[in-house]
Amino acid sequence: MIRALGVKKSFEKQHVLKGVSLDVRDNETMVILGPSGQGKTVFIKTLVRLMEPDEGVIEYDGVDILKLKDRQLQEFRKNIAFVFQNSALFDFLNVRENMALYLRMHRAFREEEIEERIVDALRVVGLQEEVLDKFPEELSGGMKKRVAIARAIVKEPRYLFYDEPTTGLDRRNSQLVSELIGMLKKEIRVTSVVVTHDILLMREVSDRVALLKDGAIFSIGTKEELSPETLNYLYETGDE
């Protein structure tokens, strides 16, 4: 279980997170919903300590990761994978090298085994071996996103974090991303946190939804429990 307690983060005088508290249960898909500029990216980054909060506690199964030293933090990071909004593939590496990076650095696999794992992960996201030698710039937005998700899968994480996974994708690719998020929850029993302002995505993948507003969690519950006021607020922001 992930537990955030009173997480605060400011940039100079701008108080972005004013005390965010949230529990994410094992094997749950928690969607954090909110219009842009509300601090969703800042929050999801603090959850994995890609960004240090000013105050607060971030616990995984009772261990406060903000207190971990470098070595322990590295060990903890083996359990997590992060799918960035822009896919964050290295432009100068082909798909094979992008995907092999983690396995080469942290696991003692033979080359054949690395190749096998990469191909398996690509199959999961519906891509064929042809993409292995392609560079990111040769891929469509939807394919890049799938490679980014496949790269997360090869790590066999316990926790998966997605920042705006459908932004910039057409409906068909968005649908595919939704299906992948649902499938990974079932197949590898991953615990997922999805940050988005895409209400369709939220409907498709969420076990629970937390609404981030004015630097705090405004409401939390299942999608059925979202109040009409909450949804109105989201639609009325005119965000996409």
Q: Are 58 and 68 in contact (CB under 8 A)?
A: no
- Closest approach of ligand ADP to the CB of residue 39, in Å: 4
Give the count of beta carbons closer than 10 Å to the beta carbon of residue 5. 15
C-beta neighbour count of 130 within 10 angstroms: 9
Residue 16 binding: pick among Mg ion, ligand ADP, none (C-beta 5-8 Å cut-off by kind) = ligand ADP
Binding mask 15-34 for ligand ADP (x = CB under 6 A): -x-----------------x
At 30 the three-state DSSP class reads: strand
Strands 14-24 and 2-11: antiparallel
* 208 Cα distance to chain centroid: 15
d(CA 17, CA 39): 7
Candidate segments 32-40, 56-64, 173-181, 197-205, binder of Mg ion by CB under 5 A: 32-40
Only segment of 35-43, 107-115, 138-146, 231-239 that touches Mg ion (CB under 5 A) = 35-43
Interface of this chain with ligand ADP, residues 35 to 94, rule: CB under 6 A: 36-42
Torsions phi, psi for 36 (to 5 deg): -70, 155
For Mg ion, the binding residue among 7, 35, 38, 41 (CB under 5 A) is 41
Least distance between Mg ion and beta carbon 41 (Å): 3
- By CB under 6 A, is residue 174 in contact with ligand ADP? no
Task: Give me the residues that bind Mg ion (CB under 5 A), please.
Answer: 40-41
Task: Give me the residues that bind ligand ADP (CB under 6 A), please.
Answer: 11, 16, 34, 36-42
